[in-house]
Chain A
Amino acid sequence: MQTQQPPSRSFRNQLIRITDWFAFPLRASHYVELVNPLWTTHKMQAQVVKVWDETKDARTITLKPGTNWRLHRAGQHIRIGIPVEGRHYTRTYTISSAPERSDGLFTITVKAIDDGRVSRHIVRNIKVGDFLPVGLPQGDFYLPDASPIQPLFITAGSGITPAMSMLRSLIAQHRMPSTEHIHFAPHEFDVIFGKELRAMDAEQKYYHLHEVHTRKFGEDQHTDSHFSLEMLEQFCPDWRERDCYACGPASLLSALESTWEEAGISRRLHIERFMAEFAEVPADATGGKVTFARSGVEVDADSQMNLLRVAEEAGMNPPHGCRMGICHTCNTTLKSGCVRDLRSGEILNEAGAIVQTCVCAAAGDCELDL
């Protein structure tokens, strides 16, 4: 992944500029990469130093980042590039380790989704020693630095990762506030970080874990334990006074949203979504002719397919990252016409508006600066 160099006239940058003259049209960093890919400045990579199975289908990958790395804030995510069968994919994963880790490493914890080729590849095929391109930490899902809050974490499955980073960070800083944590997982041996969470619950005076198991052993059968107001009242009677940090599947998050909305305290609910939830496209929606102005490409598109795919199917390779509207790598500007944000259903029709091509579709003819 490209890292943007701020245009600075510092001595170091001048030196890099001059050494780059030796490598033209490449940069000296391309040759440094031959010695150690972690020392490059033209892109950032991380090396896998350890893999560890958290559950039968979730794995923690410990990564050593390259020189230009910046520490994350607990709860933030990174973009990571994965080659699968020769093709490069980009995905976004939350960092599950605390920034306070003293060895400079960080971890991501990935659950293999049934039909997810990339996640399955990460969980099964990534080996110790592999180098993966990574982006810098991003995202606004983190705890406030100084102001004292009493968090309530509601997480499910691999949605535990940002909460885990936050909890580990709070423990490392010796400032664990009164914390309630409701976590949904299939069964007691299928809880990502289960052992560590239970140990925290036992050792940390102010941390209380409430595990909810949604499946029975040996059966592919759901119990009827899913989120409800009664459950919330039972585990955490003072939930209205707390700041809730939630991450999990869309169904859980929308249940939480309506609960907090009804209580009139939506601003106390902080949500991290990894699956963009799409609004329904109205039946009368039509696509149109999409013009990619800079590439000089014109194609017809329907009202459903995102513009990034439209561009790719037309043989272009525009910049992109998460493909779910999070990372904004694919941002471009609307030159004219009309597009629909597939998540909200909102129509963008002002020339100059920023369009995230991975979550927007044509709503009539449109022209993009790509």
Chain B
Amino acid sequence: MATAKPLPVNLTDEQIDEFGREMDAIYDEVMASRGEKDRLYILRLIRTQRSMAFVGRMIIYASLFLLPPWGHALAGWGTTLVVMFLGVAMLGVAKILENMEIGHNILHAQWDWMKDPEIQSNTWEWDSMSPSDRWMHSHNVVHHTWTNVVGKDLDVGYGIMRVTPMQPWHVKYLLQPIYFVLLALLFEEGVALHEQAIVDVVEGKKSPKDAGLGPVMKRIGRKMWGQVRKDYIMWPLAGALVAVPLSFVVAVSPWQVFLLVAAANAIANIIRNVWAFVIIFCGHFPEGVYSFTEDQVEGESKGQWYMRQMLGSANITGGPLFHVLSGNLSHQIEHHLFPDMCSNRYPEVSPRVQALAARYGLPYNRASIWRQFGTTWLNNLRLSLPGGKLPPKVASA
């Protein structure tokens, strides 16, 4: 089967079909070998992540006993902030693990095969402002089906940025380096508001009522309230309540305690936001990644779909810990080829996909985080102005 307009490769449709069959074989082989080891991996990871989140919060509390008014040998702002940052970093890493290697992947139904009632894509809720079922729609359905198709995939520029010259320039894109930084800091909120309904209303295509904005916003609002209540009310408040009786003994102010804990949690959230933003932007926007038009997708075969996923994604190199912390989205290519394969298997699949790409003479976009994020940032600057450079007309390695 041929698409209305061919993909940018030097292969016949038959060759692309064979490429697809080889991909299918890799997928089937790995999916059939899932078992107890994979189950233990996700269970241990969840346990580790929850322990880290709790211990991180406890370290933040513990640091408050180092505030200068305590007057003991270790008391002082320096030690307080160092210890508090240790807790913040731990909480931040726990949030990163929860959102990326655990939440993102469970919500992709990667672990549904276990039939574990606790770990199911249809019931899992993650530690993020975005309600998981809303996100699953905009991500699993829209983004993973229409990967990098300009005008269809909302993730192409997220409605606020120009990430490929195929998007027509508009004066609003002049400010996109600023959006870029803001989105990095507020990525979690950005993801929550990343909804077709909202985009339609903002662009004036639909009235709020036609877009069904009310129920969507109510749902997002409830989730956000739960998140805000946890990080900016409950945990700071519990610290402040303990500080009330203590304030009769030493000069610690309950208000100060409240603000310190809230600020610590905010920094943990920002650490997670920036990290998730960096990893995710490295997935589709570095130099050499292809975007597509709708007529390149029309009538697409399975082989062509695989091809588009591979040309439209980029990997980041790194060690095992880096891969886990990136939610294995450092294997973005494998993730896009096999979105429901459990992520702990991507590292073993990656060399096979890379070799397969090499045999068919196709590019396999894989580089260090510095190169991938560096070119993403440069592209962002360049594309804020009209014009820009498209990747080669024929993708080859």
Question: A residues within 8 Å of B by Cβ?
Answer: 1-2, 21-26, 30-31, 34, 43, 81, 83, 85-89, 133, 317, 319
Contact = CB atoms under 8 A, between A and B. Distances in A.
Nearest to A295: B122
B36 A86 contact: yes
B51 A22 contact: no
Contact of A25 (B38, B54, B117, B226): B226
Contacts, number: 64
Contact of B36 (A23, A26, A85, A317): A85
A25 B229 contact: no
B112 A317 contact: yes
Given A21-B230, A317-B112, A88 B54 contact: no
A329 to B, nearest CB: 10
Nearest to B230: A24
15 contacts: A1-B117, A21-B229, A21-B234, A22-B238, A25-B127, A25-B227, A26-B125, A31-B50, A31-B54, A34-B47, A34-B51, A43-B118, A83-B114, A83-B116, A88-B115
A81 B122 CA distance: 19
B222 to A, nearest CB: 10
B234 A22 contact: yes
Contacts of B72: none
B120 A85 contact: no
Given A26-B125, A30-B50, A133-B117, 11 more contacts: A2-B117, A21-B230, A25-B127, A26-B127, A34-B50, A83-B36, A83-B39, A87-B113, A88-B115, A317-B120, A317-B122
Given A22-B235, A87-B114, A317-B115, A34 B54 contact: yes
Interface residues of B, number: 31
Contacts of A86: 34-39, 113-114
A238 B114 CA distance: 52
A24 B229 contact: yes
B65 interface: no
Interface string B15-52: 00000000000000000001111110000000100110
A24 B223 CA distance: 9
A131 to B, nearest CB: 11
B305 interface: no
A24 B227 contact: yes
Interface string B122-157: 100111000000000000000000000000000000
B133 to A, nearest CB: 12
A2 B118 CA distance: 9
A24 B125 CA distance: 9
Interface in B159-203: none
B94 to A, nearest CB: 12
Contacts of B38: 86
Contacts of A81: 117
Contacts of A83: 36, 39, 114, 116
A85 B113 CA distance: 11
Nearest to B40: A86
Contacts of B125: 25-26
B226 A24 contact: yes
Nearest to B229: A21
Nearest to B121: A317
A26 B128 CA distance: 12
B52 to A, nearest CB: 11
B115 A23 contact: no
Interface string B99-121: 00000000000001111111010
Interface in B209-233: 223, 226-227, 229-230, 233
B40 to A, nearest CB: 8
In order of increasing CB-CB distance, the 10 nearest A-B pairs are A86-B39, A25-B125, A24-B226, A86-B35, A88-B115, A24-B230, A88-B116, A85-B35, A86-B36, A22-B234
A88 B112 CA distance: 10
B344 to A, nearest CB: 12
A136 B315 CA distance: 48
B48 to A, nearest CB: 10
Nearest to A133: B117
Contacts of A1: 117
Contacts of A319: 117
Residue in B36, B50, B54, B118 whose Cβ sees the most chain A Cβ within 10 Å = B118
B98 to A, nearest CB: 10
A22 B91 CA distance: 14
A22 B234 CA distance: 6
